[in-house]
């Protein structure tokens, strides 16, 4: 395999998972640049690069245009909002992502984040570690409970369904909003996010970051969720108006929020750090060695399959019809 692909050059902008890097280095020829800026592309790279593998670096239209022989962009992650897939499609460039292999892992974290937000497990552990259990007594009773909650999922896709199964097993009712109804699930469907937020008290967002979801969770949606409302975001930070969320938490418009994702990572707005009743995680939904290795393998397998079999394994919808030149 490696001999067949060894002369093919893959460009890696920015950091990449170590296992993915090791495989690319052994199976292809590799160029590395510090980030996704097209200004780093040398004439030699422009001539030789046929594939690109990215984890954190954006892949803009400019970068794609700077690589005239580019055939495929392999995104490490199921969410590919940092890749201009529409532009790639117009240039006949394949884009792949890493669906399914991370679904259950991310759903586990969504549930953990929900429970932590509502039952304050991190704060209770800090209480114990600070010696307060001995000096001051038991940790306070939590004002919020999971019992009797009605959950709503914004984005009932692969991960949304895995979260829904966990919520059901925990005794919560489940409803959802997507642009289109999912045929093979029996959860109650809402054709608007507002309708969903009005109907539930626990909103879990696992929608992708796209122009159509930008700032979808805004002041109006948070008001509809209500005073007992809990908002969890495991999808993308761009789907939330973070300033409106911080205000809603501060003013008691909703009761609490748990966030794994932010609009401008790794920056977390001070207003969210200061907001009461929040559980904040540094984008760790898929971050186990097991799952990150599976994501790395799938992203590199896409490159190998493209250059040896002539087809991608997991093409994103925008480039599903792109064929190898
Ligand atoms: P998926 O199967 O494509 O599901 C996405 C769902 O969102 C679909 O059901 C889609 O339904 C819905 N959706 C898309 N645009 C919408 C809109 N404008 N309004 C309402 N619903 C919309 O993707 P997945 O594998 O479940 O992953 C979902 C997202 O999770 C990823 O894109 C990524 O951003 C995020 N993620 C986060 C982590 C983490 O570590 N925190 C890890 C993995 C993934 P319709 O097309 O019918 O609207
Ligand atoms: C990754 C993710 O952490 O798959 C996704 O969409 O958000 C995460 O699994 C991320 O893509 C790696 O940078």
Contact between 70 and 64 under an 8 Å Cβ cutoff? The reply is: yes
Please write the tens of the pLDDT for every residue from 101-157: 999 999 999 999 999 999 999 999 999 999 999 999 999 999 999 999 999 999 999
DSSP 235-267: S-GGGB-HHHHHHHHHTTSSSEEEES--TBTTB
Give CA–CA dist 73/146, Å, rounded: 42
Q: 10 Å Cβ neighbour count for 143? A: 11
In this prediction, residue 85 has a pLDDT band, given cuts at 50, 70 and 90, of: very high
- Give the dihedral sign, CA 152/156/159/165: positive
Beta strands of 45-141 (E only): which ranges? Answer: 49-54, 72-75, 94-96
Going by alpha carbons, the residue nearest to atom 8 of ligand 2 is 77
Does residue 1 surpass a pLDDT of 70? Answer: no
pLDDT digits (tens, 9 = 90+) for 11-33: 999 999 999 999 999 999 999 99
Ligand 1 atom having least distance to the Cα of 159: 26
Start-to-end Cα distance in the chain? 20
Q: CB of 283 closer than 6 A to ligand 1? A: yes
Quick one: 174 exposed, middle or buried, by C-beta within 10 A (0-12, 13-18, 19+)? buried
Task: Please write the tens of the pLDDT for every residue from 30-60.
Answer: 999 999 999 999 999 999 999 999 999 999 9
Pair 194, 226: CB distance under 8 Å? no
What is the rounded average pLDDT for all residues in the chain? 98
Q: What percent of the chain has pLDDT over 90?
A: 98
Report yes or no on whether pTM surpasses 0.95: yes
What is the DSSP annotation of 104-121? HHHHHHHHHHHHHHHH-H
Q: How far is the CA of 77 from the centre of ligand 2 (A)?
A: 4
Instruction: Tell me which residue of 140, 139, 151 sits closest to 115, measured CA to CA.
Output: 151
- Rounded mean pLDDT of 69-92? 98
283 is catalytic: yes
Do residues 154 and 192 touch, judged by C-beta distance below 8 A? no
Q: Which domains does the chain have, with CATH numbers?
A: 2-101+289-319 (3.40.50.720), 103-280 (3.40.50.720)
User: Would residue 290 show up in a list of annotated catalytic residues for this protein?
Assistant: no
Beta bridge partners of 150: 173
57, 283, 299, 316: residue to mutate for ligand 2 pocket, most atoms within 8 A of CB: 283
Ligand 1 centre and the CA of 207: distance in Å? 4
Q: Who contacts 32 (Cβ-Cβ below 8 Å, separation ≥6)?
A: 11, 12, 13
Please name which of 83, 110, 91 lies closest in space to residue 279, comparing C-alpha atoms.
110
User: Does residue 2 carry a pLDDT above 90?
Assistant: no
Task: Name the active-site residue from 265, 290, 309, 324.
Answer: 265
Is the pLDDT confidence value at 4 over 90?
no
312 band by pLDDT with thresholds 50, 70 and 90: very high
């Amino acid at each position: 395999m490696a001999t067949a692909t060894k002369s093919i050059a893959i460009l890696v902008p920015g950091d990449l998972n170590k296992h993915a890097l090791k495989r690319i280095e052994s199976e292809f020829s590799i160029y590395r640049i510090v980030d996704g800026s097209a200004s780093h592309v040398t004439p030699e790279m422009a001539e030789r690069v046929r594939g690109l593998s990215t984890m954190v670096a954006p892949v803009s239209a400019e970068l794609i245009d700077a690589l005239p022989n580019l055939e495929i962009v392999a995104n490490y992650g199921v969410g590919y909002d940092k890749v201009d897939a529409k532009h790639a499609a117009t240039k006949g460039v394949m884009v792949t992502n890493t669906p399914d292999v991370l679904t259950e892992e991310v759903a586990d974290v969504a549930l953990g984040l929900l429970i932590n937000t509502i039952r304050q497990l991190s704060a209770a552990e800090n209480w114990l570690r600070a010696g307060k259990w001995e000096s001051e007594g038991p940790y306070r009773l939590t004002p919020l409970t999971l019992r009797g909650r009605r959950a709503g999922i914004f984005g009932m896709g692969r991960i949304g369904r895995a979260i829904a199964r966990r919520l059901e097993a925990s005794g919560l009712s489940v409803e959802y909003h997507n642009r289109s109804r999912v045929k093979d699930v029996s959860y109650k469907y809402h054709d608007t996010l507002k309708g969903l937020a009005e109907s539930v008290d626990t909103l879990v967002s696992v929608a992708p970051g796209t122009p159509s979801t930008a700032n979808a969770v805004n002041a109006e949606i948070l008001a509809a969720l209500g005073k007992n409302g809990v908002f969890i975001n495991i999808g993308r930070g761009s789907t939330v108006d973070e300033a409106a969320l911080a205000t809603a938490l501060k003013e008691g418009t909703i009761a609490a929020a748990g966030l794994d994702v932010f609009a401008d990572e790794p920056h977390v707005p001070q207003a969210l750090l200061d907001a009461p009743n929040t559980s904040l995680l540094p984008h760790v939904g898929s971050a186990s060695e097991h799952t990150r290795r599976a994501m790395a393998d799938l992203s590199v397998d896409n490159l190998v399959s493209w250059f040896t079999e002539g087809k991608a394994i997991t093409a994103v919808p925008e480039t599903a019809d792109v064929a190898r030149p």
